[in-house]
């Protein structure tokens, strides 16, 4: 789909937001994107996926931030600066990257539901501000319960074979679109990678919609 068609199909500018709950830079974008998109009148298409299989397809058995010691040391210093800049809490997780299969299956289920943004922020904060195991049933249930949602019902649905398959397909789709890291944003076929490109992606989305 062309960039213009992505906006014209609904009459509202749209951005696809591809993210992974174990990704530290996805944390920054999850905490910021809803307010920034609302300011510009942009609709978010939430696209949770698993970065691990994408990395393995590229020949990495772990995050580059773990495999490359110097890069990893820099990244956490950078995270401290970025979190201060945005006023976002940070507690470096004792496990990184942290597996979040159940949390991601729930996010996939909720991608078009009204609680999606709040749920994603809650999961990210549990991981990167409170160092909780977001892959556990206990923590995911807690996050849903704090939002006043029926945790058991949602988790049962998220763990269905159909939803598991959807997540595998979504992750394969990420790889097929050329995604190599998270967060990644798409406006039509135009790709923007990294939290530091969030504003650029949103501005481009608006420019396409308005013809500016």
CA distance 182 to 64: 12
The answer to whether 111 touches 47, Cβ cutoff 8 Å, is yes
CA distance 144 to 35: 21
Q: Check if 23 is active-site.
A: yes
Nearest CA to 90 among 77, 107, 106? 77
The answer to whether 126 touches 143, Cβ cutoff 8 Å, is yes
Residue showing tokens 């997540």: 167
Catalytic residue among 9, 23, 141, 160: 23
Catalytic positions: 23
């Amino acid at each position: 789909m062309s960039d213009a068609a992505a906006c014209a199909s609904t009459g509202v500018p749209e951005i696809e937001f591809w993210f992974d709950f174990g990704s530290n830079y996805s944390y920054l974008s999850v905490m910021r994107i809803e307010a920034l998109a609302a300011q510009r009148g942009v609709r978010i298409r939430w696209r949770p996926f698993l970065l691990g299989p994408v990395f393995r397809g590229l020949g990495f058995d772990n995050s580059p931030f773990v495999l490359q010691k110097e890069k990893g040391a820099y990244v956490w210093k950078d995270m401290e600066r970025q979190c201060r800049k945005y006023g976002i809490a940070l507690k470096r997780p004792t496990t990184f990257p942290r597996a979040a299969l159940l949390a991601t299956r729930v996010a996939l289920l909720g991608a078009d539901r009204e609680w999606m943004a709040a749920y994603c922020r809650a999961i990210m904060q549990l991981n990167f501000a409170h160092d909780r195991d977001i892959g556990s049933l206990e923590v995911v249930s807690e996050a849903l319960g704090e939002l006043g949602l029926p945790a058991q019902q949602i988790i049962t649905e998220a763990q269905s074979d159909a939803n598991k398959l959807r997540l595998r397909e979504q992750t394969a789709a990420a790889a097929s679109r050329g995604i190599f890291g998270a967060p990644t944003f798409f406006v039509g076929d135009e790709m923007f990678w990294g939290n530091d490109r969030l504003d650029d992606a949103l501005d481009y989305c608006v420019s396409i919609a308005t013809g500016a």
